[in-house]
Amino acid sequence: MNRLIVIAALAAMAGVAQADSYFVTVAGLGGEPDFETRFSDWAKDLDKIYRAEPGAKVETLYGADATKANVEAKLRTLASTKPDDQVVITLIGHGTFDDREYKLALPGPDLSATELSTLLDKIPARQLIVDMTTSSGGAIPILEKPKRVIIAATKTGTEKSSVVIFPRYWIEALKDPATDADKNDTITALEAFRYAQTKVAKFFETQNRLATEHAVIEDTGKGDGVKDPSAENGEGLAANRFVLVHLGTSAVVAKDPAKQKLMKHLEDLDAQLDELKYEKASKDPQEYRRELQQLMIDRAQTQQELDK
């Protein structure tokens, strides 16, 4: 096969700085020993998962260290990130909502969604906010912004219980190879969301209980979160570009500097394919087929180079 496309892509990428991934996890105030332990354990589980990622920069706050001042300090350091970098911020614990403002319960002063949004606006990198707290849906209207992906454990700020179970299955999603629905050896935010969402629904069904939480996603920067992201509602495209975990061969390649650029190009091509599929209805059929064929050829050639 003709390798000109791959060679040109590598040449174009040669002068581009390697994108970095940052993971900040905050486990808030439990209020009682059982919740304190549960929240801290979830944070430690995520810390372990993310530290296994090649080159990941991981910060985890829980217990007495999870103060508003410490969270703000960690987020301020991310103001030096690059637009191609990705930042994943995960919130665990109790959230509150008073019909106007969402707050994350922390030791000492709580952190509001408005304060969090102000800090996030100063971070150039692409952002994924995974709010796995009670009332987390109330934060979406405040946090939403173009190129920012928001996942909330509850659909609204008024949907609340003593604790949500979404974090349990989100962590399970990042550990289970079955989460990788497209079998490309990576787990994206969209794949993890769908896995965890399905598991939560199944939990309430098998327990014969009324569901008290319904996870939603919003990644267009406008509107309400949705339970079923698709090309029809426009949701899910940005979330599927967030690679959280590399599996198998992908994990090995991610540690090889010589192949990291090829992998990044492959991920970019997958993102372009996803975007093209979202735009299919508005495109001329012949133009759609032409663009699809070109991307598929480029992808096949890149994968061939990567497999050598």
Check residues 147 and 267 and name the one with the higher pLDDT: 147
Q: What is the pLDDT of residues 118-142, one digit of tens each?
A: 999 999 999 999 999 999 999 999 9
Checking if the pLDDT of 1 tops 50, the result is no
What pLDDT sits at residue 36?
A: 92
CA–CA dist 249, 263 (Å, integer): 11
Write out the H or E segment, with its range, that includes residue 3: none
Check residues 238 and 288 and name the one with the higher pLDDT: 238
Q: What is the mean pLDDT of residues 51-74?
A: 95
Of 114, 18, 109, the C-alpha closest to 70 is: 109
Least confident range of 17-31, 135-149, 220-234, 250-264:
250-264
Of 227, 231, 210, 214, the C-alpha closest to 282 is: 231
Residue 58 pairs with which residues in a beta bridge? 23
Torsions phi, psi of 111, nearest 5?
-105, 120
Checking if the pLDDT of 286 tops 90, the result is no
Distances (CA, A) of 264 to 86, 95, 303: 13, 36, 11
What pLDDT sits at residue 14?
A: 40
CB proximity list for 138: less than 8 A, separation 6 or greater? 95, 97, 101, 102, 113, 156, 157, 158
Topology, domain 21-246: Rossmann fold (3.40.50)
